Structure 1
Amino acid sequence: MTEFSDLGLSPTTLQAVADTGYTTATPIQAQAIPVALAGQDVLGIAQTGTGKTAAFTLPMVDRLASGRAKARMPRALVIAPTRELADQVAASFEKYAKGTKLSWALLIGGVSFGDQEKKLDRGVDVLIATPGRLLDHFERGKLLMTGVQMMVVDEADRMLDMGFIPDIERIFKLTPPKKQTLFFSATMPPEITRLTKQFLRDPVRIEVARPATTNANITQRLVKVPSSDPKAKRLALRALIEKAGIETGIVFCNRKTEVDIVAKSLKVHGFDAAPIHGDLDQTQRMKTLADFRSGALKILVASDVAARGLDIPAVSHVFNYDVPHHADDYVHRIGRTGRAGRTGEAYMLVTPSDDKGFDKVIKLIGSTPEEEKLDLDYSNAVTVKREGDRDRKRGGRDRGDREERGGRGRRGRSEDAAETPAEVAADAPEALEERPARERRPRRDREPREPRTVAPAPIEAEPRAARPERPERPVRGVQPVRDRDDDDRRVVGFGADIPAFLARPTPGVAKANTDN
């Protein structure tokens, strides 16, 4: 075990670390901090929950302790894929830099530009941001990145999943080429490896564990649900939560609509649960996370927005309500428990329709989790048929059904998530009062009504004044069609019906005819 005092950190930084209660560095911290302090580029790969945030925050505080920031020109830049992760990095920086005069700013979406611009105008040493909001400030002319000395990309593989790689490439081109760059991630796909070769200069590769491996402190189990019906899955989830006796837990779903439905179902059955996903207001998301961190909230129902990088040490259980679309997400999800040397438990609900995704997870982690038996009667767990089921059986596709990509995916109503609040409430019949059937009232005989009489319109006392005729004008060069008194002639081609405008005499033509 390596002590923080052996890593070359300054006394001020060591005191800040001691105030947080940590004395021993994790493997990724022990290997990355000395390299980062020396000014070399770092490519760090480690399991989630092993302290990667402190591995780049502590050397950043030491290296920036001497110097002063300029207006709109940050000296260090930290890029995070999600707002929650960026906010967590900001909290860590504030904690470790409290003994210095370093300033920082958090640039994320969902909050006003005004407050962020005020901080940029005063000048900040460290800028912690998501790619989209960072580029928004740059395009507004409120930010210059030519003074960046140190740049960190956290959860680099998540940047790839969320489609941020073009933004990352643009940000790299806007920063000086001689800066120090640190890449940290739990997995390292080939696309990220190509990116590191393009922008990192002779990086030191630090790999403390095989990529995409799970933490040994986490006990993994699976629960087989015989039906793919969402009502059966919710029944199994509730039974599992009650059996596990959790302190705090996170339930992961693949879709945002499913997050809302599962959270509402748990609330109906008396569980202390709240949803969090990319469609919610940022203020609500931050409040929900704060309640979960403090213990005021027991169960967090989340999409993959909470699967990456969130450091909540007290999480005792993780439940995969849905088998993740990507096997790597399973590693990140269960990594929310068993953090900082603690033990944790992870469960995954598997239905007959999850065979393909489940096989990918097993292939990735290299083992099959132990099966957890639940003595449940699924016979009554049948969801009411909904409109659109017939189209889905024919092979129709839900156009809006896309997995969540950092809030950019659209809100689709999938087959499992197309339930109404009434169907969710049907999970708890004891919470609803049975209403008696509405009796049909006998039809009473109606008396015939008297016919309505309409009064005739009043006759005008005097006829309206005749419309004065327009003065006749001779028309030159026009052949006469008919004389003024030739009203009985019929126009050939219209049959027996003559339009009124043709039957009306034309004063100008008639005058020209009389002149001849």
Structure 2
Amino acid sequence: MNFADLGLSDELLQAVESAGYTEPTPIQAQAIPPVLMMKDLIGIAQTGTGKTASFVLPMIDILAHGRRRALMPRSLILEPTRELAAQVADNFVKYGKNHDLRMALLIGGVQMGDQVKALQEGVDVLIATPGRLMDLFERGKILLTGCELLVIDEADRMLDMGFIPDIESICAKLPTNRQTMLFSATMPPPIKKLADRFLENPKYIEVARPATANTNIVQHKVMVQSRKKREVLRELIETDNVSTAIVFCNRKTTVRELAKSLKRHRIAAGEIHGDMDQSSRIAELERFKAGEINVLVASDVAARGIDVKGISHVFNFDTPWHPDDYVHRIGRTGRGGASGRAFTFVTPEDAEAIENVEKLTGNPIPVWGKGGDDAPQAAPEPAAAEEKASGSRRRKRPSKAEAAKAEEARPEAEKTEAAKPATRRSRKPRRDADEAPAYAEAEVVEAAPAPAPKPAERRAPQPAPVVMATAGQGDWNGPVPGFLNVSAIS
């Protein structure tokens, strides 16, 4: 099957061919015909399957007939992040070059003036994030009563980011006799409820089992302690033939700190996260695409918004909190039939999170280097390390018979020496920290020193009995004067 079999116009087919595509992906082959027939649609597809073109291409042909009006967009595409919105806009520019269609992009982080001006001139396609759209609507800068076509993209991501109430509010403001398409990688109950409410007899398409990972991606989990994660990441970047990689972190602060750490170790790294303004994020992405940096440290804001060809590796520096995010993160590699590699760092605290990921994907993730020397080793359990450390200092206690026999065999000089009052020996100085055994991450527990004696309480002096020294053993042999109140020392 080729694109000509899907019922697209000649102008659109020329644009698709000039973009270098000849055969549609499964989601495109199944979604384009019903969309052209003006049917509602639910599309379940993982990232990297060509989902965006499955609604962009038929929309261009549908919108080719009609005229635009000021402040009243003819179609609306809702995206969860700025990056995804910009990616969809790029698709419209690429495939709609032979059509007279006007597009506007409503996203945060950029000046609102240009966006309002574009709306006043009239747009055929409005691509927006829910927050900025609601903002402009409340200001009276946009009317939604003329919208004939609605696309809710990455619906499960919308749910994770808390946009469902905004989407419900937006849908309520649109005409009821519209065409609606909903795309998602998974179908949790809140998304199904949303679809049942706002879609009418939709065509259901599922090209892959929900939340399955791309089979072209070789996946591994790396068992590691938290303090060793940076070191292991650098080792993998240097040894696993990494050409370009994205490193995902759960927190924005981790993104910033990790990017700085990689730069200090002379790794060409950049960063992208939600605290950056849109121009800075776009600039960093352009550096990554141009090859000026080959490692991009990112938060989940970029997990579904980066479409860069040839990414060889994805590193989950933090195990994702939400299992769905795992699929979307690693989906940045292995795109377009290419192969990719994904490593997920798992600390002891991540046991439940990685278990949830494996339940969602339906397959256990193999441990990196299990049974080999190349595996980053996790630290032994603290109890085991303590037992090992203390066990090395233990000595076998001799039996009573052995002790008696050893006492008889001792030379007389030693026995005489032993009979003398014992003098306090100084403790052996503790070894320096760099001399301690290098157990991986485990604290070596030294033998506890004997508790220090408590300071003696102050008591009132008591009169001591008078003791007379034996003749010849001392210098004083007379009575003790009472005012001294001390005893003679033998």
CA contact (8 A) 1:313 1:338 kept: no
Asked if residue 7 in structure 1 is aligned to residue 3 in structure 2, the reply is: no
Superimposed CA distance per residue, residues 329-365 of structure 1 (whole angstroms, 9 cap, x where no aligned partner)? 1011001111111111111111111111111111111
Question: Matches of 1:24 and 1:143 in 2, distance apart?
Answer: 38
2:324 is matched with: 328
- Alignment match of 2:272 (pick from 272, 276, 282): 276
1:297 is matched with: 293
Give secondary structure in 2 for the equivalent of 1:91: helix
1:51 is matched with: 50
CA contact (8 A) 1:16 1:97 kept: yes
1:136 is matched with: 135
Superimposed CA distance per residue, residues 379-420 of structure 1 (whole angstroms, 9 cap, x where no aligned partner)? 9xxxxxxxxxxxxxxxxxxxxxxxxxxxxxxxxxxxxxxxxx
* 1:140-289 alignment runs, 5 A limit: 140-225=139-224, 227-229=225-227, 232-289=228-285
1:339 is matched with: 335
Question: Matches of 2:226 and 2:230 in 1, distance apart?
Answer: 11
Question: Matches of 1:294 and 1:13 in 2, distance apart?
Answer: 29
Give secondary structure in 2 for the equivalent of 1:287: helix
Measure how far apart 1:316 and its partner are.
1.2
Question: Matches of 2:223 and 2:329 in 1, distance apart?
Answer: 19
Question: Matches of 1:79 and 1:155 in 2, distance apart?
Answer: 9
Question: Matches of 1:378 and 1:362 in 2, distance apart?
Answer: 20
Query: Quick check: 123-132 or 334-343, which moved more?
Result: 334-343
CA contact (8 A) 2:223 2:376 kept: no
Measure how far apart 1:47 and its partner are.
1.4
Give secondary structure in 2 for the equivalent of 1:239: helix
2:67 is matched with: 68
Name the amino acid aligned to 2:355.
D
Measure how far apart 1:378 and its partner are.
8.4
Question: Matches of 2:144 and 2:304 in 1, distance apart?
Answer: 27
Question: Matches of 1:349 and 1:18 in 2, distance apart?
Answer: 41
Question: Matches of 2:335 and 2:292 in 1, distance apart?
Answer: 20
Question: Matches of 1:55 and 1:377 in 2, distance apart?
Answer: 45
* 1:415-430 alignment runs, 5 A limit: none
2:364 is matched with: 368
Superimposed CA distance per residue, residues 450-474 of structure 1 (whole angstroms, 9 cap, x where no aligned partner)? xxxxxxxxxxxxxxxxxxxxxxxxx
Q: Percent sequence identity over matched residues?
A: 59
Q: CA 1:155 to 1:246, structure 2 compared with 1: closer, same or farther past 3 Å?
A: same
CA contact (8 A) 1:48 1:309 kept: no
Query: Quick check: 336-345 or 121-130, which moved more?
Result: 336-345
Query: Quick check: 169-178 or 362-371, which moved more?
Result: 362-371
Superimposed CA distance per residue, residues 412-459 of structure 1 (whole angstroms, 9 cap, x where no aligned partner)? xxxxxxxxxxxxxxxxxxxxxxxxxxxxxxxxxxxxxxxxxxxxxxxx
Question: Matches of 2:47 and 2:205 in 1, distance apart?
Answer: 14
CA contact (8 A) 2:41 2:203 kept: yes
Q: How many residue pairs end up in the alignment?
A: 375
Measure how far apart 1:309 and its partner are.
4.5
CA contact (8 A) 2:287 2:293 kept: yes
Q: TM-score, normalised by structure 2?
A: 0.75
Q: TM-score, normalised by structure 1?
A: 0.71
Question: Matches of 1:223 and 1:27 in 2, distance apart?
Answer: 33
Task: Provide structure 2 residue ranges, at least 5 long, that are not aligned to the other structure.
Answer: 380-490
Name the amino acid aligned to 2:58.
P
Measure how far apart 1:188 and its partner are.
1.1
Measure how far apart 1:114 and its partner are.
0.7
Give secondary structure in 1 for the equivalent of 2:335: coil
Give secondary structure in 1 for the equivalent of 2:226: coil
Name the amino acid aligned to 1:233.
K
CA contact (8 A) 1:228 1:353 kept: no
Name the amino acid aligned to 2:16.
V
Q: CA 1:243 to 1:88, structure 2 compared with 1: closer, same or farther past 3 Å?
A: same
